[in-house]
Chain A
Amino acid sequence: MSENVQEIRSALRPILADHSSPDEVVAAESAGWNSTLWSVLCEGGFATISVPEQYDGSGGSIADACAVLHELGRSASSVPFAEHALLAGWLLAIGKRSLPDGVLTVIDDPTELQVARTGDAFTVTGTARHVPWASVSAAILAILDIDDQSTAVLLPTEELQLDEQVNLAQEQRRTVVLHNVVVPAKNTWPVPADTAEQLRLRGALSRAALMAGALERATELTVRYTAEREQFGRPIGRFQAVERHVVRLAEAAQQAVMAVAVAGINAHEEIDFFDAASAKIVVGECASTGTAAAHQAHGAIGMTKEYELGQLSRRLWSWRDEYGDEREWARKLGARVSDAGAEALWPRIATG
């Protein structure tokens, strides 16, 4: 682990303990996000980690951004860091543009959007679903094909119609409806052809990093709870059947952390398809086994909305699906791996 990653983690821990405690998480859920925490992260320069300094970011690598996400996941924090910095900030930097004021988000799936040229400007029409943080964003970025050229488009949010929708953890995931929204040419810029895929890989890695943090925290909670809770005259963690749940959860968390760490270290300018897809697949599967084990070991207390475990597991179940679930990525990765041929499989596994 690089020094940077360590520093980021230890700097964030106390901030998140203050502003994303289980009580704060409950409070934030009614708003769909934690605005106080976001302000603190902005003031501290954390909100733009991985966005180059020349474009008004705080600088740092993808691995550094994953460290932030890991901590946010640990504390069940509902803030737009992934979309703002790792996705929108990166897209802006490709267009040599600085970060504008306010929260930024992105459209993961633009397939239902149509764009037309009208003089010097463009008009965009259609629907985008599950757009994170749309109600609190100042602008939304999307990658659209304009005259066969992959193009980043900065959409103003004033004219958009937003349906109030949330994920399983009450985090804002709006349906955005666009009726002839006018985008001036200066708010569009060409991007390399693989940018849409890179955006999705970044999104997938961001969710994997959040999940790895949440799984790590769920393990700590479960180890502690099973040591404290007594039944039949001894701590339940002393029963082998309960030990089994704790160990399965720890195994899930350790695999998740490793997968994200390796994908993060390997990512430089580009994120490798195999790495990010693998991370999302493995972490998604680990979220399933990990939450099942954690809940079984906790009994009824884990099923309450206020208890920290449930805050983590509802996010794990949501993040597992976002930017492609593990089944989608497994299908895509499997197709690529088998196209590359049997002899290429081992060398790829043993890379990085």
Chain B
Amino acid sequence: MKFVPTPLSPAELELQRDVRRFIAEELPADHQPGLGMGSGFDPAFSKKLAARGWVGMAVPKEFGGHARTAVDRFIVTEELLAVGAPLGAHFVADRQTAPAIVKFGSDWQREFFIPKIVAGECWFSLGMSEPDSGSDLSSVRSAARQVEGGWLLNGTKIWTSGAHRTHYFAVLCRTSPAEDKHQGLSQLIVDLRSDGVEIRPIPFLNGAHGFNEVHMSDVFVPDEMMLGEEGSGWRQVTSELAYERSGPDRFLSTFGLVKYLIAERAADGLTVEQQRAVGQLAARYWTIRQMSLSIARAIDDGGAPAVEASLVKDIGTRFEQRVIDVVRDVVEVQLRADSSSTFERLLAEAVLTGPSFTLRGGTTEVLRSIVAKGLRNV
């Protein structure tokens, strides 16, 4: 396991300044900052970002992308997350689906999807979890059987974030029986408006509609929507993890709490406990960001730092939760869901949604098993 510290180059610092200028100009004055990935769904904002070339950044030019680096994408993403910008619409397509299509997809898929994703107009959800398959993903029961010109897909996906608003989702399903349950799985790209797809909302703890249950009965999926080779779904899903797990979205969800604690309380002077909390958290943000950034750099250098990514996600997501406790420990407020103070609104939101940080994208327990295995195999 290795993390190499990596300063930003002059060009990268220039990009950082560009993003800050963009935020100052484009984020509406009445923008209500949100918490990380869950900060809002704003197609117009996604398109503006795309117009700057900041969606699908790391996709090679030949496929319609901007041929920027994982570090460039990191810089854009962290700046936007730090101000709680509404990234919800394009986030999954940008983080996960675009790189997966570039890596595993067919020429047709690249030509069809990538330009739309890069334009900020084509949004994805992830169809992995099922009612009986959470951490043990390879046990999924959704299954597709081959028919003339494609596949007939049946099954139920659950916790599918954003499916009521996105265009497609990548469905992990069984496409052939196999002794080894990691074999015979594939990812099918499914149009969420297809016949046979039924999307039912599952209200989230804070009352928001984010989650869905997606039923698929005899959904026809054309052959060209098979991602990569039939049967390579497990390898694809696990190799996406390095992208999915270690980015700034895994440690910045509650940054707003610290920022608005200072913004709203510093005028009266922070108490010693509040100062200590701010100092302790600032130091940790600085360190974890460097670890997360070093993974983006390693990916650009051709590495596949999957164990490191799991370690950073575990550190980052537990930290985003700890921020809630540390901050709550130094203020005395009775939380309400409708406070006019941004700080109190974010704290309430964080209390309600915080437990999900260490569940989504792989639980703490699962990540630790991956890291422990990596440590043993040194």
Q: Which of B105-126 contact A (CB under 8 A)?
A: none
Answer whether A247 and B3 are a contact pair too, CB < 8 Å, given A277-B279, A335-B275, A338-B266: no
**Chain B residue nearest in CB terms to A332:** B279
Contact call A247/B262, Cβ cutoff below 8 A? no
Answer whether A334 and B275 are a contact pair too, CB < 8 Å, given A247-B371, A254-B1: yes
Partner of B262, one of A1, A277, A342: A342
Instruction: Encode contact with B along A328-352: 1 for CB under 8 Å, 0 otherwise.
Output: 0111111101110110011111101
Contact call A333/B3, Cβ cutoff below 8 A? no
- A338 — which chain B residues lie within 8 A by C-beta? 262, 266, 270, 274-275, 278
Does any Cβ of A come within 8 Å of B16's Cβ?
Answer: yes
Q: Roughly how many angstroms separate A259 CA and B285 CA in the complex, as a whole number?
A: 11
Number of interface residues of A (CB under 8 A): 50
Does any Cβ of B come within 8 Å of A278's Cβ?
Answer: yes
Does any Cβ of B come within 8 Å of A243's Cβ?
Answer: yes
Does any Cβ of B come within 8 Å of A40's Cβ?
Answer: no
Does any Cβ of A come within 8 Å of B103's Cβ?
Answer: no
Contact call A282/B375, Cβ cutoff below 8 A? no
Q: Roughly how many angstroms separate A266 CA and B286 CA in the complex, as a whole number?
A: 13
Partner of A334, one of B277, B290, B311: B277
- A330 — which chain B residues lie within 8 A by C-beta? 275-277, 279-280, 283
**Chain B residue nearest in CB terms to A252:** B315
Contact call B286/A349, Cβ cutoff below 8 A? yes
Q: Roughly how many angstroms separate A327 CA and B279 CA in the complex, as a whole number?
A: 9
Does any Cβ of A come within 8 Å of B4's Cβ?
Answer: yes
Contact call B314/A277, Cβ cutoff below 8 A? no
Q: Roughly how many angstroms separate A141 CA and B282 CA in the complex, as a whole number?
A: 33
Q: Roughly how many angstroms separate A206 CA and B159 CA in the complex, as a whole number?
A: 48
Min CB distance B16 to A, Å, is 7
Instruction: Encode contact with B along A208-246: 1 for CB under 8 Å, 0 otherwise.
Output: 000000000001000100010000000001001001101
Q: Roughly how many angstroms separate A334 CA and B285 CA in the complex, as a whole number?
A: 13
Q: Which of B183-197 contact A (CB under 8 A)?
A: none
Contact call A334/B263, Cβ cutoff below 8 A? no
Contact call B3/A257, Cβ cutoff below 8 A? yes
Contact call A350/B78, Cβ cutoff below 8 A? yes
Most chain A Cβ neighbours within 10 Å, of B365, B368, B378: B368
Q: Roughly how many angstroms separate A80 CA and B4 CA in the complex, as a whole number?
A: 28
Contact call B279/A349, Cβ cutoff below 8 A? no
Does any Cβ of B come within 8 Å of A109's Cβ?
Answer: no
Q: At the interface, is chain B mostly helix, strand, loop or mixed?
A: helix
Partner of B3, one of A254, A281, A337: A254
Q: Roughly how many angstroms separate A347 CA and B19 CA in the complex, as a whole number?
A: 12
Contact call A281/B291, Cβ cutoff below 8 A? no
Partner of B266, one of A251, A266, A342: A342
- B78 — which chain A residues lie within 8 A by C-beta? 350
Does any Cβ of B come within 8 Å of A205's Cβ?
Answer: no
Does any Cβ of A come within 8 Å of B211's Cβ?
Answer: no
Q: Roughly how many angstroms separate A329 CA and B278 CA in the complex, as a whole number?
A: 11
Contact call A281/B290, Cβ cutoff below 8 A? no
Does any Cβ of A come within 8 Å of B372's Cβ?
Answer: yes
Does any Cβ of B come within 8 Å of A125's Cβ?
Answer: no
Q: Roughly how many angstroms separate A255 CA and B288 CA in the complex, as a whole number?
A: 7
Contact call A261/B5, Cβ cutoff below 8 A? yes
- B294 — which chain A residues lie within 8 A by C-beta? 258
Does any Cβ of A come within 8 Å of B7's Cβ?
Answer: yes
- B288 — which chain A residues lie within 8 A by C-beta? 255
Contact call B376/A333, Cβ cutoff below 8 A? no
Does any Cβ of A come within 8 Å of B350's Cβ?
Answer: no
- B280 — which chain A residues lie within 8 A by C-beta? 281, 285, 326, 330, 334
Does any Cβ of B come within 8 Å of A250's Cβ?
Answer: yes
Contact call B279/A254, Cβ cutoff below 8 A? no
Contact call B275/A352, Cβ cutoff below 8 A? no
Q: At the interface, is chain A mostly helix, strand, loop or mixed?
A: helix
- A246 — which chain B residues lie within 8 A by C-beta? 372, 375
Contact call B260/A282, Cβ cutoff below 8 A? no
- A332 — which chain B residues lie within 8 A by C-beta? 279
Most chain A Cβ neighbours within 10 Å, of B78, B79, B276, B314: B276
Contact call A349/B7, Cβ cutoff below 8 A? no
Q: Which of B285-324 contact A (CB under 8 A)?
A: 285-291, 294, 311, 314-315
Q: Roughly how many angstroms separate A349 CA and B105 CA in the complex, as a whole number?
A: 37
Answer whether A278 and B282 are a contact pair too, CB < 8 Å, given A227-B376, A338-B275: yes
Contact call A333/B368, Cβ cutoff below 8 A? no
- A243 — which chain B residues lie within 8 A by C-beta? 368-369, 372
Partner of B311, one of A254, A279, A333: A254
Q: Roughly how many angstroms separate A247 CA and B277 CA in the complex, as a whole number?
A: 25
- B16 — which chain A residues lie within 8 A by C-beta? 350
- A240 — which chain B residues lie within 8 A by C-beta? 365, 368-369
Contact call B311/A278, Cβ cutoff below 8 A? no
Does any Cβ of B come within 8 Å of A265's Cβ?
Answer: yes
Partner of B282, one of A219, A247, A349: A349
Min CB distance A232 to B, Å, is 18
Instruction: Encode contact with B along A166-184: 1 for CB under 8 Å, 0 otherwise.
Output: 0000000000000000000
Does any Cβ of A come within 8 Å of B220's Cβ?
Answer: no
Does any Cβ of B come within 8 Å of A274's Cβ?
Answer: yes
Contact call B368/A244, Cβ cutoff below 8 A? yes
Does any Cβ of B come within 8 Å of A262's Cβ?
Answer: yes
Contact call A247/B368, Cβ cutoff below 8 A? yes
- B91 — which chain A residues lie within 8 A by C-beta? none
Most chain B Cβ neighbours within 10 Å, of A279, A281, A334, A342: A334
Contact call A345/B372, Cβ cutoff below 8 A? no
Q: Roughly how many angstroms separate A327 CA and B273 CA in the complex, as a whole number?
A: 10
Answer whether A258 and B5 are a contact pair too, CB < 8 Å, given A243-B368, A332-B279, A338-B270: yes
Min CB distance B275 to A, Å, is 3
**Chain A residue nearest in CB terms to B263:** A342
A-B contact pairs, 10 of them (CB 8 A): A243-B369, A251-B311, A251-B371, A259-B286, A262-B290, A277-B279, A334-B270, A335-B279, A338-B275, A339-B266
- Shortest 3 CB-CB distances between A and B: which pairs? A334-B279, A334-B275, A333-B279
Contacts A240-B369, A266-B7, A349-B282 known; list 10 others, CB within 8 Å: A254-B311, A258-B291, A274-B286, A282-B283, A285-B280, A327-B276, A331-B272, A331-B275, A338-B266, A346-B259
Residues of B within 8 A of A (CB): 1, 3-5, 7, 16, 20, 78-79, 82-83, 255, 258-260, 262-263, 266, 270, 272, 274-280, 282-291, 294, 311, 314-315, 365, 368-369, 371-372, 375-376, 378
